[in-house]
Amino acid sequence: MPNINLIAQKRQEKARLERLVRRLFFLASGLVITSITVGMLLSVQYYALKGQIAALDEQMQILEPKIQELKEFDGKTAELRPKINLYGESRNHTIKWYRYLQVVARSLPQNTWLTAISPASGLSQPQPGAPPENAVVNLAGTTLSQNLVGETMLSLNRYSSLLEKVDLQSTKEELEGDVAVVRFQLSTLIKDMPAIFTADSAAPKPEAVKAGQGGANANQTKS
């Protein structure tokens, strides 16, 4: 029976096991070192964040009085906002009346004079929650012919962005001395203009009417 030499095979197996053990050792050592390194980094970040939080807490304590002042200021602003809104609405209301007077002045042809501007009678306070009535203004004037009355109405109607309607109420031919004149009365309905301004009146919408628009004839100097 032949002899089998197992010494070389055992040596190879032993060397393979030793290499495996070394690899496992190095791997475990690497894992330990990596864990320690990660732990140190996390600890550094933790203490850094803790320091930042502490600094922010100090800043919050410093800013707390100012934050309280801002809250009080916001409260006062909220109390004043209705008054500010009312002021803005009344200002827009006034500007719109000024534009209306400009439109009327620019719409008068030559040899036409206004004698009176008055609001329509019979206006009443709007009911709570109901939209206010639009303003109706009566214009009384004197001119030299019926054609000039029609020209005045046409000029006013060119301002359709401001005036919703222009109606002829009456005309009357008279003699003023030796001159024949026509006395007329028009009514004009102004868009988005409350007849009676109150705190509940809706704010006027932005207008596109500007001085010089509408193509109407410029008002002539009256003596």
CATH topology (fold) of 86-194: Gyrase A; domain 2 (3.30.1360)
Return the half-sphere exposure (C-beta side, CA atoms, 13 A cut-off) of residue 98: 9
Is the pTM for the entire model greater than 0.75?
A: no
The per-residue pLDDT for 6 is: 64
Cα separations in angstroms, 138 against 47, 77, 187: 81, 41, 4
Domain spans in the chain, listed from the N-terminal domain onward: 1-66, 86-194
Segment 109-157, tens digit of pLDDT: 999 999 998 887 545 555 555 555 778 899 999 999 999 999 999 999 9
The interaxial angle of helices 7-107 and 146-157, nearest 10 deg, is 170
- Look at 153 and 201; give whichever has higher pLDDT: 153
Q: What is the mean pLDDT of residues 201-215?
A: 41
